[in-house]
Amino acid sequence: MVSTLRAFAPTFNRYPSRAFSIKTQMDSITRNPDGYTSTSASTSKPTETPITLQEWQGWGSTSPVPTMVTEIIDELKVLEKTVDAQMSFGGNGGKLQGYFKTQEDKKHRATYQALGSSEQKLQFFSARQIACRLLGSRDYLCQKCWLPFEDCMCSRVKHCSLWDRARFWLYMHPKDFLRQNNTGKLLLQVFGKEATTLSLYGISEHEEIMWNAFKSAGRSKVCCLYPNKNATSKGVQEAFGSELSTKQENTQQMTDGDGILNFILIDGTWSNSAAMFNRLKEQAILVWGEDIPCISLSTGSSAMHKLRPQPSWDRTCTAAAAASLLFELQLVPKFSSVEFEKQGEALEDALEVLLEALTARRIRMGRSITRKVRHASSFC
């Protein structure tokens, strides 16, 4: 049960100390032919029309369409004409394929190499990744749950309001954007854009919005959920609740006044997360001259949550980590009336819905399901 979701998704093992990823069959699932049928039956190719603001924001973003993403899409279209081959996508989440892929590989590698700074390289990498995901997922994935339309789980996900003085920042790696088995998206689904903001790593429009919000909130109202306890991260009780804390003044700053608490969740694979965390750290130094404040989950928090057989979910995945954070916040006396537990449970419920949907999809596509998944299915 504990590693159930990992059977689907190597990208889940983000939070605890599992510094490895498990290659799964889910990785190699190719697009459902039914998805193509409806697309190919239409008169225009899905790659022909530009990405509109409405379409872009429909995937969960709050920013304008990133300039570099638009430029890369335009370049892809030009390349189609140049090499006289149509873009086509397969794989799980908008991977180019066929002859066009070979040509585009050469081109983007050359572009990447020619870029002068690591910052430019990161921005190009991210924008290209997002561009491909957008085009490849169009007319195929539901914009809310990021599952193929025939597997849409939206009707089963219940919305829940997050405490109006808390906000999640979903700092997502581009490779996890529009991934079916991504769990960070569940925060957007459950709490809505009003309480969760998607911030894609390396997309300057997103990172600017995020850092502008942090600057105006102030360092004392920002904290990054760090996967492991380290020298600089605090436990939730220590950061927010302990009356004995030597940082009482700081605690008051974090909970008093009208300011909103900003929680950053790093949503990427273990191997990508270090770079993402470093980027946050570097920016914090630039902005505040100090490290980004971090909190980490205590190992026993799931056990303290009595209402479900514990641990309900592997805390490696982003949504489960967020749920655990909410359960720990519930234990802070000053938050006892905030109903964080209810909010954490809503997130756990959505995780179960996602697992069921992924399992059902796998079965429908004739894929074997692992023993663990079968067990989880009967459990739910």
Does 260 bind Zn ion (CB under 5 A)? Our answer is no
For residue 327, which of 314, 346, 353 has the smallest C-alpha distance? 346
For residue 216, which of 257, 186, 276, 175 has the smallest C-alpha distance? 257
Q: How far is the CB of 39 from Zn ion (least distance, A)?
A: 17
- d(Cα 236, Cα 326) in Å, to the nearest integer? 10
- d(Cα 160, Cα 18) in Å, to the nearest integer? 30
Give the residue with the Cβ less far from Zn ion, 107 or 144.
144
Does 360 bind Zn ion (CB under 5 A)? Our answer is no
Q: What is the footprint of Zn ion within residues 93-132 (CB under 5 A)?
A: none
Q: How far is the CB of 380 from Zn ion (least distance, A)?
A: 19
Cα separations (Å) of 285 from 49, 219, 377?
41, 11, 46
Among the listed ranges 49-57, 134-142, 198-206, 293-301, the one in contact with Zn ion (CB under 5 A) is: 134-142
Q: How far is the CB of 364 from Zn ion (least distance, A)?
A: 16
Does 372 bind Zn ion (CB under 5 A)? Our answer is no
Q: How far is the CB of 140 from Zn ion (least distance, A)?
A: 12
Considering only 22, 85, 152, 360, the residue that binds Zn ion (CB under 5 A) is 152
Q: How far is the CB of 192 from Zn ion (least distance, A)?
A: 14
Among the listed ranges 53-61, 98-106, 139-147, 310-318, the one in contact with Zn ion (CB under 5 A) is: 139-147
Q: How far is the CB of 65 from Zn ion (least distance, A)?
A: 22
For residue 66, which of 263, 198, 213, 180 has the smallest C-alpha distance? 198
Give the residue with the Cβ less far from Zn ion, 238 or 352.
352
Within 13 Å of residue 235, how many CA atoms lie on the same side as its CB?
13
Q: How far is the CB of 178 from Zn ion (least distance, A)?
A: 12
Token pair recorded at residue 117: 């700074």
| Percent composition of the chain: helix, strand, coil (DSSP 3-state, to 5) | 55, 10, 40
Give the torsion sign (CA, 59, 60, 61, 62): positive
Considering only 29, 142, 287, 363, the residue that binds Zn ion (CB under 5 A) is 142
Judged by CB under 5 A, how many residues of this single chain contact Zn ion?
5
Give the residue with the Cβ less far from Zn ion, 152 or 363.
152
Does 156 bind Zn ion (CB under 5 A)? Our answer is no
Give the residue with the Cβ less far from Zn ion, 135 or 147.
147
In the three-class reduction of DSSP (H, G, I as helix; E, B as strand; rest coil), residue 99 is classed as helix
Among the listed ranges 70-78, 148-156, 233-241, 328-336, the one in contact with Zn ion (CB under 5 A) is: 148-156
For residue 195, which of 292, 260, 280 has the smallest C-alpha distance? 260
Q: Kindly state the DSSP code that residue 268 receives in the 8-state scheme.
A: S
Q: Which residue has the CB atom at the shortest distance from Zn ion?
A: 142
Does 144 bind Zn ion (CB under 5 A)? Our answer is yes
Omega prior to 311 cis, within 30 of 0 = yes
Q: Which stretches of the chain bind Zn ion, using CB under 5 A?
A: 142, 144-145, 152, 154
